[in-house]
């Protein structure tokens, strides 16, 4: 476990809240301080920390790995940020994209031609963890003259097969 200022501050807050609560039960300050000191790690790691993790939308960031991209499509959202920031795919050809990411999962719809746009490939990135997350992550890769010119991440509503619209 890495001790960070954030951890220390929150442990102090939990200790203070426990101490104040236990002071209402028993007026002996030394006993309240001792019980608070013993209970603080348990309350922090088994109540406060899981609650914060459920409400926060933090997730691990990973560098792009084409094997992990193909084998674990539900965890692609961990890799997309580094791909966008580093511009690793900008300027690559369709063949290179198809080789490293696999063929597109779906094509974007072009309203002007009323057909699928072969220059906009889409991939599902999975569902980012979080308590109130009802959208799945996706990325659209745009080609111009068979070279990647843009990556656009977006979110899409989660639809299940048995749901009726």
Paired with 126 in beta bridges are: 137
CA-CA distance, 114 to 96, in Å (whole number)?
28
Could you tell me if residue 61 is inside a domain?
no
114 in helix, strand or coil? coil
Q: Is residue 152 part of a domain?
A: yes
If asked whether residues 81 and 35 sit together in one domain, one would say no
Is 77 within 8 Å of 53 (Cβ atoms)?
A: no
Model pLDDT, residue 147: 95
- Which of 14, 36, 55 terminates a domain? The answer is 55
Domain assignment of residue 105, yes or no:
yes
pLDDT digits (tens, 9 = 90+) for 97-155: 999 898 999 999 888 888 999 999 999 998 887 777 788 999 999 999 999 999 999 99
CATH number at residue 117: 3.30.1450.10
Residues 51 and 70 in one domain: no
Tell me, what's the pLDDT at 143?
Answer: 94
Q: What was the pLDDT predicted at 95? A: 94
Domain co-membership, 106 together with 149: yes
In a domain, 165, yes or no: no
Range of the domain at 11: 5-55
Backbone angles phi, psi at 119, to 5 degrees: -95, 5
Same-domain check for residues 85 and 146: yes
Can you tell me the mean pLDDT for 28-52? 81
Within a domain: 163? no
Pairs from 134-140 (Cβ < 8 Å, separation ≥ 24)? 134/158, 137/76, 137/77, 137/80, 139/76, 139/80, 140/108
What tens digit of pLDDT does each residue of 1-37 get?
Answer: 677 787 788 878 888 888 888 888 888 888 877 887 7
Cβ-Cβ contacts under 8 Å for 98 (sequence gap 6 or more): none
Same domain, yes or no: 70 and 99: yes
């Amino acid at each position: 476990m890495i001790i960070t200022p954030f951890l220390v501050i929150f442990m102090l807050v939990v200790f203070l809240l426990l101490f104040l609560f236990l002071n209402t039960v028993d007026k002996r300050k030394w006993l309240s301080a001792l019980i608070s000191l013993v209970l603080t790690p348990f309350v922090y790691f088994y109540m406060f920390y899981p609650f914060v993790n459920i409400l926060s939308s933090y997730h691990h960031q990973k560098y792009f790995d084409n094997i992990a991209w193909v084998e674990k499509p539900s965890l692609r959202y961990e890799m997309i940020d580094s791909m966008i920031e580093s511009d690793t795919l900008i300027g690559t050809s369709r063949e290179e994209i198809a080789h490293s990411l696999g063929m597109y999962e779906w094509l974007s719809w072009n309203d002007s031609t009323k057909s699928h746009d072969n220059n906009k490939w889409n991939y599902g990135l999975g569902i980012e963890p979080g308590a109130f997350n009802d959208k799945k992550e996706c990325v659209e890769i745009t080609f111009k003259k068979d070279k990647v010119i843009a990556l656009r991440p977006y979110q899409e509503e989660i639809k299940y097969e048995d749901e009726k619209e």
